[in-house]
Amino acid sequence: MRVAVISAEAVPYSKTGGLGDVAGALPKALKNIGIDSVLITPCYWQTKGEFLWETAIRDLNVEWRGGIYPAKAFYSEANGSPTFLIDAPSLFHRDSIYGYLEDHERFAFFNKAALVLLRRIGRAPDIVHLNDWHCGFAAVELAERRRWDTFWQRTRTVFSIHNMAYQGAFGLGELWKLGFGSGFARDRFSFDGHASAMKAGLETSDTLSTVSRRYGFEIQTSEYGYGLEWLTRKRADRLIGITNGVDYEVWNPATDPELPANYDINDLSGKRECKRAMLERFSLPIDLERPVLANITRLTAQKGIDLMMQVVGEVLAAGAYIISLGSGEKKYEDFWQSLRDHAPNQVGIYRGYSEPLAHLIEAGADMFMMPSKFEPCGLNQMYSLRYGTVPIVRAVGGLDDTVQNWDAVSQTGNGFKFGPYAADAFLEKIYEALFAYGDKDLWQKIQHNGMSVDNSWENAARKYVSLYRWTLDN
């Protein structure tokens, strides 16, 4: 089976969130279980020069807006699998990956270039795996081409929804200049008076997937469907939820090179040294018995920062440390800074993102807070489980699928989970976790339960292969 994964971002070349982690890890996992896989992603200026690669195609000429755009394609295996990076300087060499009025043009071009590239490098893939709204354009183009182009006739498309909140909306009048002027294309893109690349992907692709079983049901409701729940319900028979995996070659406390001491499920002593190093890094008093509650996230409303703002006073009053890594909306950044100023001996913050520091926090913290409003999958709760850091989460999306609430009677569960989006429900679980932390044997049992869970990408990749085979047969 030949599979092409197309994504607007992919680790280690680019990343703004979970999409980058998934797109970078899946092709490698597929390759490791014997699938002929290739990743195609843009070459942003932030990417160029950071990895060893070669120019694979110097004349990747793409028909674009009535002319020819002379793009290039670089080749790399920095993520452990064959990868082509589309180089189009005027479109991708910018200060940030997203956030431009013409984002729909940029990714429409990327989709067209990816299909031109696939034609240049060999036989047609059996599956083209598209990710989020950025790739809705390719879903429509492939559906049209299969009608008359024998090269693509056996190719099928899988469209993965990572976040329904972002739908790639733009004006219907733009479709013509992007090369989607047919009635078929216009019908697929049209949604509520504008064009939606997410809607096009959902309606046109052969099979749909999303990044957790729970989120697959949630996006069929008005609360999480963002106006497209009618379409996900209509296509529910071709929609499946597959929880993302974790790359244990990167996220493994037993081998993690970013840690001052390694540890595993049989010997957790190194975690204590990581806690010491983390407290030193944030210039906090070295009290290894005091619990640390951490959070690594984009500071947006989706991530439940409002709930954190309502409970941190009680958490500090209980004597715990709080550590936050991330950046985002100014009001949330200002809040964390003011909290740090108010309690400099209990609060540590880092504005921005640091991969080495993220690893140290996952290892050094005792608990990890994820009170998300919605969370299609989430990765940090799975990193936390592996690192013996007990997650406190809201029961939504992938958080509900991957975290089992602790039951002291049966000694089962690997974290603490609450339902309603309410500060008192969140605080109740924090208090439960703090109480459990006070019993070392009990706490170690919770840690062991989490560290023994297999959230590997190999498991997830095998589920995707089953989905690909079903898609080809149906």
**Following DSSP, what letter does each residue of 150-218 receive, concatenated?**
GGGTT-EEEEEES-TT---EE-GGGTTTTT--SHHHHHHHEETTEEEHHHHHHHHSSEEEES-HHHHHH
pLDDT (mean) for 64-93: 94
Residue 70, SS3 per DSSP: strand
CATH superfamily of this structure's domain 269-453: Glycogen Phosphorylase B; (3.40.50.2000)
The CA distance from 102 to 465, in Å, is 35
Give Cα separations from 211 to 19, 250, 454 (angstroms). 10, 20, 16
* Residue 218 confidence (pLDDT) above 70: yes
pLDDT (mean) for 330-345: 97
Query: Would the pTM count as exceeding 0.75?
Result: yes
**pLDDT for residue 52:** 59
Q: Determine which of 17-21, 200-204, 325-329, 377-381 has the lowest per-residue pLDDT on average.
A: 17-21
pLDDT (mean) for 292-309: 96
Q: Determine which of 44-53, 208-217, 333-342, 434-443 has the lowest per-residue pLDDT on average.
A: 44-53
CB 108 within 8 A of CB 136: no
Mean residue pLDDT across the chain: 96
CATH superfamily of this structure's domain 2-245+458-473: Glycogen Phosphorylase B; (3.40.50.2000)
**pLDDT for residue 126:** 98
pLDDT band at 16 (very low <50, low <70, confident <90, very high): confident
Domain with CATH 3.40.50.2000 in the chain: 2-245+458-473, 269-453
168: left (phi over 0), alpha (psi -120 to 50) or beta: left
**pLDDT for residue 48:** 61
pLDDT (mean) for 84-102: 95
Percent with pLDDT over 70 in the chain: 99
Residue that has been written with the tokens 């339902």 in this structure: 419
CB 13 within 8 A of CB 29: no
pLDDT band at 265 (very low <50, low <70, confident <90, very high): very high
What backbone torsions phi and psi does residue 318 show, to the nearest 5 degrees?
-80, -5
CB 85 within 8 A of CB 79: no
* Residue 49 confidence (pLDDT) above 80: no
pLDDT band at 50 (very low <50, low <70, confident <90, very high): low
Question: Radius of gyration over alpha carbons of the chain, in Å?
Answer: 23
What backbone torsions phi and psi does residue 124 show, to the nearest 5 degrees?
-65, 140
**pLDDT for residue 45:** 87
* Residue 54 confidence (pLDDT) above 90: no
pLDDT band at 405 (very low <50, low <70, confident <90, very high): very high
* Residue 317 confidence (pLDDT) above 90: yes
H or E stretch including 232?
A: helix 229-234
Residue that has been written with the tokens 């290039």 in this structure: 72
Instruction: Give the strand pairing for 169-170 and 194-196.
Output: antiparallel
pLDDT digits (tens, 9 = 90+) for 134-187: 999 999 999 999 999 999 999 999 999 999 999 999 999 999 999 999 999 999
**pLDDT for residue 18:** 83
Residues with Cβ within 8 Å of 102's Cβ and at least 6 positions away in sequence, in order, are none
